[in-house]
Structure 1
């Protein structure tokens, strides 16, 4: 006997049918209402505009990063990044792209009025939406490098794979097509378009995924995206980017952009200030050369004429400008400054405490050189060809500074006493000036006797001038630095030099 025998079958009434109909319809109404809420335009109260213009370098990304922090301090809820760039260095572009994609305190829109090519497209893909002018261009991000023959080449496949993985991560964060993004950096990555015949949903699949989508129920046959042909980096115009869904919509100018995004109140512009322009100027190779040369030259003059102070101040200003510009330019950090200070300390120790070019002097020179080179690098060890080329450029600048400084030291050491300006700086008593008719007195070194005493006219470091009676001779100190006006004794002499030592009694008194 079946279960149905206990409950006789009855014909469903009209009320039961109505309840069943409503139970099926109400959930669809709720879903439609929720979908309608999601499509409601956002309302922004504190929009800001940041311009990202020019070639992407560490300076470019450092300035853009500072503008983003200013937007956060302004409590912006909408960041419009106006991109007009032909591209640039890959690593700095990814660095700022990852910073942008992690922003969760504001909605991000990339606005491209003209071009967003190569590495600049990484920044656009890091935003929630991409908006382009109909004639703008985006994509073509194939990584290249300059070979030894000064010709541009495509980077090896191993590097392409890493870049492709990174750009997929950036694109996926904001629901942009990962395959379209990868086709921008990989010329052999073919992309096919499939469309749901019922809902109109469009997806982009790779050649590897092609077999899974062929003859898939409800979906159209895959069609090759024409811009992703083999051997060609994917690049879209604004119109085409909107057709494939990469661009949310198209605008002709900022006024139309405001109509589409519907923000309230004025648009706050975060433009580059005079500090950014000054930092960019100081980072130019020729200006860097002049700053370093002036810093070394004034430091040498301060050591030659101690007590004046003006040369020391100028040297500090020059090196402070150098590291400050590198710090704000994004290539220097505390490490480089510490290395420089330690290098200066080692050189000072060699000059004033333990004379003679020894371990301290060589270590100081190595630290100074390392700090200056690292201050111009985006990373400590070059990890890309771009970084390697930057290292070569910095080494060329430092080498040029070294050669020029050596020539400067040679000229100053020979002619400093006769130059129109510096002959007034050298504090030599009038009666000790050597003129042509008194030149014979300098030849009287042979008349000196061992142990003969004289008075130091200048500091002996270890070379300086000493007066023996009426004669003024260039001598060499045997050991420590001897200050001016100290009494010295001759301890060794030959045809080429006179070696002196400070008088024992004075040393004991000191």
Structure 2
């Protein structure tokens, strides 16, 4: 039995590693490509990266990869064409931090520019996470008919969207204000886009039209600055969004441009070197790393591992399990979340589960420890940190733990149903031993041959009934005729507490069946 466990575990380890490297290779930074990869780079000094759709971890990978490609080409202008309703705050912050990191360095004279475009393929909006990304650029240009704003973070609870807690709002508010200060945008506009409590006014100061919060306005009036109130832009309880015209009037937008040619002219750029769009593999990575798909892969992988461990040889169950977990860990590897620690924890957890199933009767500390370690490895594979350091990471940890726990509980339920109903379902016939053993190495079946040799100690149990003390899968313990002994079934699973009857004795092996 120990040799069987070693063989099966080594097979699973080798194939898991093969599957992991295959999936991670498919989505690696050199292979994941958008449409820009299919066309040779033209002579120019501008590169356009389109940020379209939900802002999620796969978008972070896409932006970083394409930005590095542009930097290798030596372009001077990096144009982020933004068209999104928003997305995950943590992903938006990662993109914003990355964009700020390439500004104004000796190694990178790149000038990042945000462009909210309006054409037949776009919605003409840069809301929520999209606005945060726009504020990280040194300039913002908008086409006519577009809008920007509404950055207040929200959480989804039981399918309902709710405003995030004050700590999260305060963190996003301070980050938006910091981005505005760094790039010369009106801080009051940044605050009003995040916080419902901010009151924003249009004023005229020294002949200039500005947007000031009520606090800034009152401070100017106390300091004796000549300020003329024109109109309230955003009342308390409202969240600010600006049209392209308003954004230009209040100094947020550097200009209203409707075409790529007009934008290049305003920037003083010669030509576009390339345009990067999220490709098929970027979309596949986004789907693969979504919470519902991750939960499904966890359920599928755990159930298939259980079926593979309890079936002879290596077959389709093991292959499906490998593909499922290769999808989980491979996608995490591409996003920079998975290293050797997560893989070691996962394989250690699988090893503990195998030992519990094959070597230890019942289900106890070893099996529970295996499940906990597998769960921990899966949670770590969904995030790029081990210990949360801020409110965003605590929220992300809770989300990941919820996904993993739901997947594991669903898998345990499915495994229990399979253990109970499997022998009655034809698709699981391969899990049941149908051949009958009529003899042993020490001689024929004592029942059929009338012998009372090797099995004399147990031969008298034939026909007796008792109770399964542990779950028989297919071996375990049962209490028969007042004595507890090791028994086994003919390949079927029998739950603990179920009545059993001894059908034959093969040497020192007691074969039982459920009481009918």
Same fold (TM over 0.5): yes
Please tell me whether residue 366 in structure 1 is matched to residue 377 in structure 2: no
Q: 1:182 aligns with which of 146, 169, 191?
A: 191
Change (3 A) 1:88 1:224: farther
Q: 1:341 aligns with which of 328, 333, 347?
A: 347
2:5 alignment counterpart: none
Give deviations 1:471-490, integer Å, cap 9, x for gaps. Answer: xxxxx9849x9xx9xxxxxx
Structure with the bigger RCO (C-alpha within 8 Å, sep 6+) is 2
Please tell me whether residue 326 in structure 1 is matched to residue 325 in structure 2: no
Structure 2: 5+ residue stretches without partners: 1-42, 118-123, 439-446, 461-470, 476-483, 492-498, 510-516
SS at match of 2:86: coil
Change (3 A) 1:297 1:396: closer
Please tell me whether residue 154 in structure 1 is matched to residue 160 in structure 2: no
Residue 208 of structure 1 and its aligned partner are, at CA, apart by: 2.8
Residue 84 of structure 1 and its aligned partner are, at CA, apart by: 0.8
Greater Cα offset, 224-233 or 131-140: 224-233
Distance 1:252 1:283 in 2: 35
Structure 1: 5+ residue stretches without partners: 1-43, 433-440, 454-460, 466-475, 485-493, 505-510
Change (3 A) 1:269 1:500: farther
1:121 alignment counterpart: 131
What is the number of equivalent residue pairs in this alignment? 416
8 A Cα contact 2:201 2:233, kept in partner? no
Q: 1:111 aligns with which of 111, 115, 121?
A: 115
Q: 2:411 aligns with which of 372, 394, 401?
A: 401
Change (3 A) 1:129 1:61: same
2:49 alignment counterpart: 50
1:66 alignment counterpart: 65
Change (3 A) 1:140 1:157: same
> After superposition, where does 1:247-286 map in structure 2 within 5 Å?
247-285=253-291
8 A Cα contact 2:57 2:335, kept in partner? yes
Residue 359 of structure 1 and its aligned partner are, at CA, apart by: 2.7
Distance 1:76 1:127 in 2: 16
1:457 alignment counterpart: none
1:143 alignment counterpart: 153
8 A Cα contact 2:45 2:273, kept in partner? yes
Distance 1:503 1:173 in 2: 81
8 A Cα contact 1:98 1:170, kept in partner? no
2:181 alignment counterpart: 172
- Higher-Rg member (1/2): 1
Distance 2:131 2:472 in 1: 61
SS at match of 2:233: helix
Change (3 A) 1:351 1:201: same
Please tell me whether residue 96 in structure 1 is matched to residue 98 in structure 2: no
Give deviations 1:366-396, integer Å, cap 9, x for gaps. Answer: 1112333444457665945964456545543
Please tell me whether residue 207 in structure 1 is matched to residue 214 in structure 2: yes
8 A Cα contact 1:53 1:84, kept in partner? yes
> After superposition, where does 1:300-311 map in structure 2 within 5 Å?
300-308=306-314, 310-311=316-317
> After superposition, where does 1:391-470 map in structure 2 within 5 Å?
391-412=401-422, 414-415=423-424, 419=426, 449-450=456-457, 464=474
Give deviations 1:309-359, integer Å, cap 9, x for gaps. Answer: 554343222211122223445665654333212212322343455555343
Distance 2:402 2:230 in 1: 43
TM-score, with structure 1 as normaliser: 0.69
2:37 alignment counterpart: none
Please tell me whether residue 228 in structure 1 is matched to residue 234 in structure 2: yes
Residue 247 of structure 1 and its aligned partner are, at CA, apart by: 0.5
Change (3 A) 1:394 1:137: farther
Distance 2:226 2:300 in 1: 69
TM-score, with structure 2 as normaliser: 0.68
8 A Cα contact 1:191 1:224, kept in partner? no
SS at match of 1:411: helix
Distance 1:275 1:427 in 2: 43
8 A Cα contact 2:210 2:250, kept in partner? no
Change (3 A) 1:125 1:501: farther
Change (3 A) 1:221 1:72: same
